[in-house]
Structure 1
Amino acid sequence: MTTQRADSDVENGAGLKFLVFASSLGTMIEWYDFFLYGSLAVFFSELFYPKDNPVAALLISVATFATGFAVRPLGAVLFGHLGDRIGRKTTFLITLLLMGGATALIGILPTYASVGLLAPVLLVVLRLIQGLALGGEYGGAATYVAEHAPDGRRGGWTSAIQTMASMGFFVSLAVVLSCRFLLGDAIFASWGWRIPFLLSAVLVMLSLGARLRLAESPIFLQLKAEDRVSKSPVRESFADPRNRRLMLAVLFGVASGQAVTFYTANFYALYFLQSILKVDFLTSNLVMVLGVLIGMPLFVLFGIWSDKIGRKPLIIAGMAAAVVLLVPIFMVMQSAVGPQGINIWLLAACVFVLVAIAAAVYGPYAAYLVEVFPPQIRYTSLSIPYHIGNGIFGGFLPLIGLSLVAATGNPLAGLIYPIAVCVINVIIGSLYLPETLHTPIDGRTSVEDLADESLPFAAALPPKSAA
Structure 2
Amino acid sequence: MSPSDSVADPTSGQSAFAAHAGASTRGKLFRIVFAGSLGTCFEAYDLFLVGTLAAVMSKQFFSGVNPTAALIFTLLGFASGYLVRPLGAIFFGRIGDRMGRKRVFLITVALMGMATFMIGLLPTYAAAGFLAPVLFVSLRLVQGFALGGEAGGAMVYVAEHVPENRRAFLTSWVQLAPVVGLLLSQVVVQATRAVVGPAEFLAWAWRVPFFLSLGLLALSVWVRTRMGESPEFERLRSENSVSRAPLKEALTGRRNVSAMTCSLLALCPGAAVAFYCAFFYTPFFLTEVLRIGPDTTSLLTIGALLVSMPFFIVFGALSDRLDRKLVICAGFVLVVLGYPAIYHGLAHFGNAALERASAASPVVVIADPNDCSTQFNVIGTSKYRTSCDVAKSALVRAGISYTNKAGEPGMPAVVKVGEQTIQSYAADTQGSAARAAALSTSLAAALDAAGYPRKADAAQVNRPMLLLLMSALGILAAMTFGPLAAAMTDLFPPRVRFTALSLSYHIGFGWTGGFLPAAAFAIVAASGDMYAGLAYPRVAALVGAVLILLFALAARAQRLSCAR
1:330 aligns with 2:330: no
Shift of 1:355: 1.0
1:98 aligns with 2:111: yes
Greater displacement, 373-382 / 12-21? 12-21
1:425 aligns with 2:544: yes
Classify 1:373/1:349 alpha carbon distance in 2 versus 1 (closer, same or farther; 3 Å).
same
Counterpart selection for 2:501 from 382, 394, 398 = 382
For 1:352, the aligned partner's letter is S
Aligned partner of 2:465 in structure 1 is 346
Counterpart selection for 2:177 from 164, 180, 201 = 164
For 1:140, the aligned partner's letter is G
Question: SS state of the match for residue 229, structure 2?
Answer: coil
1:359 aligns with 2:372: no
Q: Contact 1:249–1:433 (CA<8 Å) still a contact in 2?
A: no
Counterpart selection for 1:149 from 162, 173, 196 = 162
Q: Contact 1:177–1:285 (CA<8 Å) still a contact in 2?
A: no
Question: SS state of the match for residue 71, structure 1?
Answer: helix
Q: Contact 1:95–1:134 (CA<8 Å) still a contact in 2?
A: yes
CA distance in 1, matches of 2:560, 2:94: 24
Greater displacement, 131-140 / 413-422? 413-422
Aligned partner of 1:462 in structure 2 is none
Counterpart selection for 2:279 from 266, 285, 289 = 266
Please say which structure displays the higher CA radius of gyration: 2
CA distance in 2, matches of 1:162, 1:200: 20
1:394 aligns with 2:513: yes
Classify 1:43/1:346 alpha carbon distance in 2 versus 1 (closer, same or farther; 3 Å).
farther
Alignment of 1:18-33 (within 5 A): 18-33=31-46
Number of equivalent positions: 432
Greater displacement, 113-122 / 394-403? 113-122
1:218 aligns with 2:337: no
Q: Contact 2:266–2:543 (CA<8 Å) still a contact in 1?
A: yes
Question: SS state of the match for residue 108, structure 1?
Answer: coil
For 2:347, the aligned partner's letter is Q
* CA displacement, residues 110-150 of structure 1 (integer Å, 9 cap, x when unaligned): 34454555444433322221111111112211111111112
1:285 aligns with 2:309: no
Q: Contact 1:63–1:399 (CA<8 Å) still a contact in 2?
A: no
Q: Contact 1:162–1:362 (CA<8 Å) still a contact in 2?
A: yes
Shift of 1:419: 1.6
Aligned partner of 2:491 in structure 1 is 372
CA distance in 1, matches of 2:32, 2:317: 18
Q: Contact 1:254–1:429 (CA<8 Å) still a contact in 2?
A: yes
Q: Contact 1:253–1:432 (CA<8 Å) still a contact in 2?
A: no
Counterpart selection for 1:180 from 186, 193, 197 = 193
Greater displacement, 328-337 / 297-306? 328-337
Question: SS state of the match for residue 193, structure 1?
Answer: helix
Shift of 1:43: 4.5
Question: SS state of the match for residue 244, structure 2?
Answer: coil
Aligned partner of 2:209 in structure 1 is 196
CA distance in 1, matches of 2:526, 2:315: 37
Identity of aligned residues (%): 43
Q: Contact 2:489–2:501 (CA<8 Å) still a contact in 1?
A: yes
Greater displacement, 178-187 / 21-30? 178-187
CA distance in 1, matches of 2:54, 2:306: 21
* CA displacement, residues 267-290 of structure 1 (integer Å, 9 cap, x when unaligned): 112222333334343332221111
1:78 aligns with 2:91: yes
CA distance in 1, matches of 2:252, 2:534: 37
Q: Contact 2:264–2:505 (CA<8 Å) still a contact in 1?
A: yes
* CA displacement, residues 149-172 of structure 1 (integer Å, 9 cap, x when unaligned): 123111111110011111111111
Classify 1:117/1:175 alpha carbon distance in 2 versus 1 (closer, same or farther; 3 Å).
same
Question: SS state of the match for residue 164, structure 2?
Answer: coil
Greater displacement, 237-246 / 415-424? 237-246
Classify 1:51/1:195 alpha carbon distance in 2 versus 1 (closer, same or farther; 3 Å).
same
Q: Contact 1:112–1:118 (CA<8 Å) still a contact in 2?
A: yes
CA distance in 2, matches of 1:43, 1:328: 35
Question: SS state of the match for residue 313, structure 1?
Answer: helix
Q: Which consecutive residues of structure 1, in runs of 5 or more, have no partner in the other structure?
A: 1-6, 437-452, 459-467
Question: SS state of the match for residue 241, structure 2?
Answer: coil
* CA displacement, residues 287-323 of structure 1 (integer Å, 9 cap, x when unaligned): 1111011110000000000111120221011111111
Greater displacement, 97-106 / 202-211? 97-106
Alignment of 1:243-322 (within 5 A): 243-322=256-335
* CA displacement, residues 395-435 of structure 1 (integer Å, 9 cap, x when unaligned): 22233334544565543333222122112111112212579
Aligned residues: CA RMSD: 3.0
Classify 1:195/1:331 alpha carbon distance in 2 versus 1 (closer, same or farther; 3 Å).
farther
Question: SS state of the match for residue 122, structure 2?
Answer: coil
Shift of 1:351: 2.1
For 2:489, the aligned partner's letter is V
Q: Contact 2:65–2:130 (CA<8 Å) still a contact in 1?
A: no
CA distance in 1, matches of 2:306, 2:552: 31
Classify 1:242/1:219 alpha carbon distance in 2 versus 1 (closer, same or farther; 3 Å).
closer
Q: Contact 1:68–1:129 (CA<8 Å) still a contact in 2?
A: no
Q: TM-score, normalised by structure 2?
A: 0.70
Aligned partner of 1:449 in structure 2 is none
CA distance in 2, matches of 1:13, 1:156: 14
Q: Contact 1:41–1:65 (CA<8 Å) still a contact in 2?
A: no
Classify 1:261/1:273 alpha carbon distance in 2 versus 1 (closer, same or farther; 3 Å).
same
* CA displacement, residues 64-121 of structure 1 (integer Å, 9 cap, x when unaligned): 3774233211111111111111111111111101111111122233344545554444
CA distance in 2, matches of 1:259, 1:298: 17
1:136 aligns with 2:254: no
Q: Contact 2:84–2:145 (CA<8 Å) still a contact in 1?
A: yes
Q: Contact 1:70–1:391 (CA<8 Å) still a contact in 2?
A: no
* CA displacement, residues 5-40 of structure 1 (integer Å, 9 cap, x when unaligned): xx9897589611111111111111011111112223
Q: TM-score, normalised by structure 1?
A: 0.84
Question: SS state of the match for residue 153, structure 1?
Answer: helix
Classify 1:10/1:231 alpha carbon distance in 2 versus 1 (closer, same or farther; 3 Å).
farther
Q: Contact 1:77–1:384 (CA<8 Å) still a contact in 2?
A: yes
Q: Contact 2:272–2:512 (CA<8 Å) still a contact in 1?
A: yes
Question: SS state of the match for residue 214, structure 1?
Answer: coil
